[in-house]
Structure 1
């Protein structure tokens, strides 16, 4: 992509990411910067980003710092150029995994920590025991989900695609497994 005006298609994509960013917990500017970097196909420096998006250089700098804290862009240096360049991970699956890891670190882990601490406190009365039971159910579900996430993180992108395409077939496979476990064979029914 040459350094030129953004096409209407690119503008629509970038605008949408700005809108979605605010729903995902990042500001509009950060979402738009990321969208530009993602679709651009080459590393950009902060001045180029500011020119493309008509943002102030300071807003771009702050947005890039936020994207770096999320590990969604990496900093590059080019020979004989003092400017810093930024690009997202090249593989969409790497981006997906980083996003999930960061959401987990920022949202899930603090919740698990709070629940763990609350469950270690002695229940003062009947109501507290009931509350702790509900909290324990939540803790166990989040822990189970986290364990599953750890397993999924280790899968190759090809395996992940196959797993995702299986959809409801996974349930059928588990149903067959359960029938065998209980001693009945599906062909006998």
Structure 2
């Protein structure tokens, strides 16, 4: 494996731990992303010096996240794997997976808490009620924004991202009431 690829694979593995992803999973994803051809589990285990069982479990996780897929190779009955190479697709799939696992349960819990407060009425101070309602408004607004962004074509999103500082400077012309809380 070329040194530059090795360095990225190792660093991606380290970063995976910071993102809450198993190091082996992150290394395998990086290796497949940078590979010019599909690799078998055996190829991956040998290249990365990992146990075959670790590679198998990591491949299952990456398949679940839809960051890799199986591809047939003529004349070989073994499973071969390729990574998703479209960066927007990768980012979208990771965001969707994390949202489903982390954000959606939080949104549901906050909505349930507010509904419970509405049903109870007594025992909750006006300040706590106001904070819960602000929290609910915030998470539902962010959730709605996320849903809208899924429908925006990647090239449009990239233009928006590149315009970042210009958009922020335009916000100074919008009064605080118009920005929300």
Name the SS for the 1:85 alignment partner: strand
Aligned pairs, number: 173
Unaligned runs of 5+ residues in structure 2 are: none
User: Partner residue of 1:172?
Assistant: 169
Deviation sequence 1:3-55 (CA, Å, 0-9, x none): xxx22211211111111111111111111111101111322110111111011
* Larger RCO (CA under 8 A, 6+ residues apart): 2
1:125 and 2:123 correspond: yes
Deviation sequence 1:60-91 (CA, Å, 0-9, x none): 00001111121211122223322111112221
Deviation sequence 1:102-142 (CA, Å, 0-9, x none): 11111110111111111111254135x54443233222212
8 Å contact kept, 2:114–2:136 = no
- The CA deviation at 1:172 is 3.5
1:148 and 2:145 correspond: yes
8 Å contact kept, 1:30–1:66 = yes
User: Which of 3, 10, 31 is the matching residue for 2:26?
Assistant: 31
User: Which of 55, 58, 65 is the matching residue for 1:60?
Assistant: 55
TM-score (norm 1): 0.83
Matches within 5 A, 1:67-146: 67-121=62-116, 122-127=120-125, 130-146=127-143
User: Partner residue of 2:8?
Assistant: 13
User: Which of 150, 157, 160 is the matching residue for 1:160?
Assistant: 157
Unaligned runs of 5+ residues in structure 1 are: 1-5, 183-189
RMSD across aligned C-alpha pairs, in angstroms?
A: 2.0
